Amino acid sequence: MYFNNETVLYLDGKFVKATESTTDLYGQTLHYGYGAFEGIRSYETEHGTKVFKAEEHYERLKKSCELVKIPFNYTMQELVEATYELLEKNNLRNAYIRPLVYCAPNMSLTKPTSVSLMIAVWDWGAYLGEKLLRLTVSSFCRPHPKSIHIEAKICGHYVNSILATTEAKDKGFDEALLLDSDGFLAEGPGANLFFEKDGKLFTPQLGNILPGITRSTVLELAAQLGLEVQQGNFTKEDLLQADSAFYCGTAAEVVGIASVDDYQFPKNWNDSLGKKLQNAYSLLVREPLKQNHLN
């Protein structure tokens, strides 16, 4: 349950009860998936609540809107401050945060003249759970980058993700792995892919994937730990010869992969580079901010 009678949302500059908020049924976001969103997490630290990389997420939200011609007239400061206040109003510390920019009523296929911005927060554990994942390569591919702005986090893009995940679960797997339109490894329905081979890490290059903020964080942590990471075009066969693999994303955090279809990764997860990065990520997101926004 994402909300109850006491849950508060941030909606167009005001804090309102979720049960008392309304929306128009003729909006383009509802009818066409024409909207932009983010996924952010907050963590409880010894010095108070910390929203991890809040500015980066809101900058990406702004960029997503700009790419698809959705108006965005908010400053990073007001959105970050609203997020901290919203967490406080809902008495949440370890939380998932969902900002959504959605369009005003308009049944035509033209850019909107006005939008609304909503931020919701709720208690949500690791999206893919804690156990190692069993993946299957999806029959669906990621959209071609010339058909959409693949780097934008747009609502309608996630129909592709829903189809892939549903197919995987219907086949008895935990999650899907998608290839791009050229047959190279792309990403999960809501997470980026890394795999390990002979002490090195590999990850699909930008261009056909969402440039995840958690992916960027993992690359930063790998550099700090002195780990070599190669970004490029890799095939399913490359993955099926790897020692270990993991997914990463804001909702999923860092989660190990046990297998892809019939291939079992041979390396014990606890001995893998992914586990080392999982531990480093867990410590990083819980490091106290230098100056907490709630002070």
Element (H, E) at 197: strand 192-197
What residue type is 34 in one-letter code? Y
The SS3 call for residue 160 is helix
Question: Residues near 206 by Cβ (< 8 Å), separated by ≥ 6?
Answer: 151, 231
- Any idea of the CA torsion for 266, 267, 273, 276, to the nearest 10 degrees? 130
Dihedral angle computed from the Cα positions of residues 39, 45, 49 and 52, in that order, rounded to the nearest 10 degrees: -30
Q: Is 38 exposed, middle or buried (0-12, 13-18, 19+ CB in 10 A)?
A: buried
How far is CA 40 from its chain centroid?
8
Active site residue 169: no
Nearest 5°: phi and psi at 22? -135, 165
Closest CA to 153 of 215, 62, 78: 62
CA distance 280 to 277: 5
DSSP single-letter state for residue 156: G
Q: Positive or negative, the Cα torsion across 279, 280, 284, 287?
A: positive
Structure tokens at 215: 């992916």
Q: Are 20 and 7 in contact (CB under 8 A)?
A: no
**87 close to 95: Cβ distance less than 8 angstroms:** yes
Pick the catalytic residue: 153, 200, 267, 290?
Answer: 153
* Residues identified as active-site: 153
